[in-house]
Amino acid sequence: MREYNTYIFDLDGTLLDTLDDLAASTNYALRQNALPEHPVDDIRRFVGNGVRKLIERAVPGGESHPLFEKTLATFREHYLVHSQDRTQPYPGIVPLLRRLRDKGKKIAVVSNKFHAATFELCGHYFPSLIDAAIGESEGIRKKPAPDTVYEAMRLLASDPLSTVYVGDSDVDIATARNSGLPCVSVLWGFRDRDFLIEHGATTLVQSPDEIF
């Protein structure tokens, strides 16, 4: 695989296996508001477009439900406290980031997870390995809009011609396309090979060792 100067990673399903904690906080929020809970495999399909969309998909009737905003707030409060209960880096991710760091590569994370959680998780699991971590916040469009990717490249003074985007979902494929970057799609995350190919994946990897 071609070597790049800047590597921009998605977080959930790419660097971190966050599914169990996302599912636990989602079902806690639903339970606290007397709403039906979901199995983990359903929540796997709900994630990828940010917290608001996750709860919209989980709550019957979505945003039109009278308890939607309360459920969303409950999720946020619970997840900020419990985001590290069962979350772990995928095997091989930390060695990959260390190799990139040792070679002087620039490393960023862009996520549709709200910014406080993105920043905290990157600091906890990847101390001194991430140059910029950007999550969902007011005033910047979330993926698949290119805004967070552009902001990462701005912060790192990166050349788009020497930058690659790495993610695990259709949202990531669209984000890379909208940002004008090549996309590496990983196969250990929340979407399978057939789904990724159907949504335009062209470069797929089964192991972090294949990225660098």
Residues known to be catalytic: 10
- Between CA 39 and CA 200 the distance in angstroms is 28
Length of the chain: 212
Within 13 Å of residue 131, how many CA atoms lie on the same side as its CB? Answer: 22
Task: Kindly report whether the peptide bond that precedes residue 144 is cis, defined as omega within 30 degrees of 0.
Answer: yes
- For residue 26, what are the contacts with CB-CB under 8 A and spacing of at least 6? 38, 43, 46, 54, 55, 58, 75
Q: How far is CA 126 from CA 1, 63, 108, 109, 155, in A?
A: 24, 35, 11, 11, 18
- Between CA 164 and CA 44 the distance in angstroms is 25
Continuous segment of H or E residues that includes residue 114: strand 106-114
DSSP H stretches of helix in the chain: 19-32, 40-46, 51-58, 68-82, 93-102, 115-125, 147-156, 170-179, 193-198
